[in-house]
Amino acid sequence: MTTPNQWRHPLMPFIDLPDVQSSQSTTRFKLTRVGVTGVKRLIPIQRPNKDHLTYLNVTMDLFVDLPATQKGSHMSRNLELIARLVDTHIQTPVPDLETFCATTADLLLTKHEYATYSEVKAEAEYYYDVRYPSGEHGSEPCRLIAEARMRRGGEIHKLIGVRVLGMTACPCAMEVVRSLDERTKNCPAPTHNQRNIGTLMIEIPSATSPVDADDLITIVEDSFSSPTYSLLKRRQEAELVLHAHDQPKFVEDVVRDMLKKVLEKYQKLPDDVLVIASSESEESIHKHNAYAERITTLGELRK
């Protein structure tokens, strides 16, 4: 453990220190976001449906706005706030990352009395439960994305999202292969397949009933040509390949299938809920990627 106190400077009196941040700004422009980025913390999470505590290795950004009259934001307050919260949560873990973001966004407006807006972004590796094709239980990694935004006096908006790896098999090349080679007409035909990055994010007002990241992961995995697994024996590899070739998909299909499943799953959520779905395919036949995206609301999708 490092002990920095040995380097307390001998000349240091206990005086009133200048507060440069609070001085007047000479260039009077307000700022949209001022804060800290890349803050790393280990945050204990107790998922409502799990019996044991886990830890998320979180990377965070914290911002407030700044009025035109003030020179600087007191950025150390952001770190104090995070330190207190993490300490508190060691006793009473948070249920999920977006709740942590929402609590932080709320407290940022208390700490920065001059701010009218706060924003917190967080990302972490997350390990979700899977049953492997072998029947064994295990876990696979994905990326958890959470955000919270708040205007002073308004409601907090929380975003919860997941980024999951899966597989897509191209329907176009498969059909063209079939028309070029008669032998593949009535059987599983080869096509190019590849790793696909599926992302699904949902933003809800804080008062709305929560969205579970595990449900989003299921939606994304079910929208690929096939989910993928770290643990596959030979037969299971071949079965996964055949399964993926049974439902070939463009990136466009992956996004639309996510949207369809979101509509079915979240029938009770209000129209103004924001939905962002994307699919990026690391094309095996190209050096570049294919990409599709929809940014919309539940209301728009219901039309």
Q: Contacts with a second copy in 85-124 (CB under 8 A)?
A: none
Name which position in 190, 206, 210, 272 contacts a second copy (CB under 8 A).
190
| Shorter beta-carbon distance to a second copy: residue 30 or 154 | 30
Name which position in 129, 155, 270, 271 contacts a second copy (CB under 8 A).
129
Task: Tell whether residue 75 is a contact of a second copy (CB under 8 A).
Answer: yes
Q: Which residues pair with 58 in a beta bridge?
A: 41, 124
Q: How far is the CB of 208 from a second copy (least distance, A)?
A: 23
- What is the biggest distance separating any 2 CA atoms in the chain, rounded to whole angstroms? 89
| Shorter beta-carbon distance to a second copy: residue 207 or 264 | 264
Give CA separation, 265 vs 95, 151, 211, 239, in Å.
21, 29, 10, 28
Name which position in 89, 152, 195, 265 contacts a second copy (CB under 8 A).
195
Name which position in 156, 165, 201, 273 contacts a second copy (CB under 8 A).
165
Question: CA-to-CA distance for 156 and 234, rounded, in angstroms?
Answer: 49
Question: CA-to-CA distance for 35 and 17, rounded, in angstroms?
Answer: 22
Question: CA-to-CA distance for 181 and 267, rounded, in angstroms?
Answer: 45
Site for a second copy in 14-73 (CB under 8 A): 15-21, 25, 27, 29-42, 54-55, 57, 61, 63, 66, 71-73
Name which position in 94, 102, 203, 227 contacts a second copy (CB under 8 A).
227
Question: CA-to-CA distance for 161 and 116, rounded, in angstroms?
Answer: 26
Name which position in 228, 272, 274, 297 contacts a second copy (CB under 8 A).
228
Q: How far is the CB of 253 from a second copy (least distance, A)?
A: 7
Q: How far is the CB of 153 from a second copy (least distance, A)?
A: 22
Task: Tell whether residue 282 is a contact of a second copy (CB under 8 A).
Answer: yes
Q: Which residues pair with 80 in a beta bridge?
A: none
* Burial class (CB within 10 angstroms; exposed 0-12, middle 13-18, buried 19+) of 3: exposed
* Count of residues near a second copy by CB under 8 A: 141
Query: Running DSSP on this structure, what letter comes out for residue 25?
Result: P
Binding piece for a second copy, criterion CB under 8 A, among 104-112, 155-163, 199-207, 245-253: 245-253
| Shorter beta-carbon distance to a second copy: residue 252 or 272 | 252
Question: CA-to-CA distance for 159 and 46, rounded, in angstroms?
Answer: 19
Quote the tokens at residue 172.
Answer: 């176009």
Name which position in 109, 159, 167, 269 contacts a second copy (CB under 8 A).
167
Question: CA-to-CA distance for 105 and 121, rounded, in angstroms?
Answer: 9
Q: How far is the CB of 103 from a second copy (least distance, A)?
A: 19
Site for a second copy in 247-266 (CB under 8 A): 250-253, 255-257, 259-260
Binding piece for a second copy, criterion CB under 8 A, among 98-106, 144-152, 205-213, 234-242: 234-242
* Burial class (CB within 10 angstroms; exposed 0-12, middle 13-18, buried 19+) of 274: middle
Question: CA-to-CA distance for 140 and 242, rounded, in angstroms?
Answer: 21
Chain-centre distance of CA 120, in angstroms? 12
